[in-house]
Amino acid sequence: MINHDSQLKLQAYLDGELSAKETAEVQNWIATDQDAQLLLAELQNTNAALVGFEAEIKLPETREFFWSKIQREIESQEKASARVSARPFSLGAWLQRHLVPVSGTAMAILVLLLVVQVAPSKNQVGEMELSSGDVGAVTFRNESEKMTLVWFYDKADSGFTESDSLASLDQE
């Protein structure tokens, strides 16, 4: 079994990236090791298969200039991050960062308290307005039972009038 470093050296040999001394050493190794011969043959077949599929990318500038632009951009971003991290303490920035959320929370609590104060409680009786003159209503509230009874009636069908309802309530 060939280790990882030996595989990389064999790939470098195939790509022509070795010195003359290393090339001679790898050639001697290939001549004596059958696993190295098989791996070299596999790498050569793979290279031959991929030759037609490699897209050559043409840059508008030289390779050195392209990589120098990338290096300058990395350096400028490192300098900018160093400036941000070395920024001195600012009371205004600290107040803005901490008091804005706190004031927003306080405002939300204030609105919630106002809504609770304005909303009718369960013990309060709501009002209702009748838009029709033909319908009458009699309301009875029993505090001991905590109950309100509202009776709606049609004034036209009944001989019962509001003055009658008031008189009947006074008698009780």
Q: Tell me whether residue 75 is in a domain.
A: no
Q: Tell me whether residue 34 is in a domain.
A: yes
Q: How confident is the model at residue 53 (pLDDT cuts 50, 70, 90)?
A: confident
Which is more confidently placed, 73 or 127?
73
Which is more confidently placed, 123 or 111?
111
- Token reading at 92: 């205004």
- Neighbouring residues of 120: CB distance < 8 A, sequence distance ≥ 6: 126
pLDDT of res. 171: 54
Helix, strand, coil share (%) of the chain residues, nearest 5:
60, 10, 30
pLDDT of res. 25: 92
Q: Tell me whether residue 125 is in a domain.
A: no
- The predicted model gives 101-112 an average pLDDT of 88
Average pLDDT, the chain: 79
* pTM recorded for the entire structure: 0.33
Asked whether residue 64 carries a pLDDT value surpassing 60, the answer given is yes
Q: Tell me whether residue 66 is in a domain.
A: no
Q: Tell me whether residue 100 is in a domain.
A: no
Dist. CA 87–CA 84, nearest whole Å: 5
Q: Tell me whether residue 119 is in a domain.
A: no
- The predicted model gives 104-117 an average pLDDT of 86
Q: Tell me whether residue 92 is in a domain.
A: no
Q: Tell me whether residue 160 is in a domain.
A: yes
Across-strand partners of 138?
Answer: 151
Q: Which domain holds residue 159?
A: 135-171
Could you give the number of structural domains in the chain? 2
Contact (CB, 8 A) for 47 and 16? no
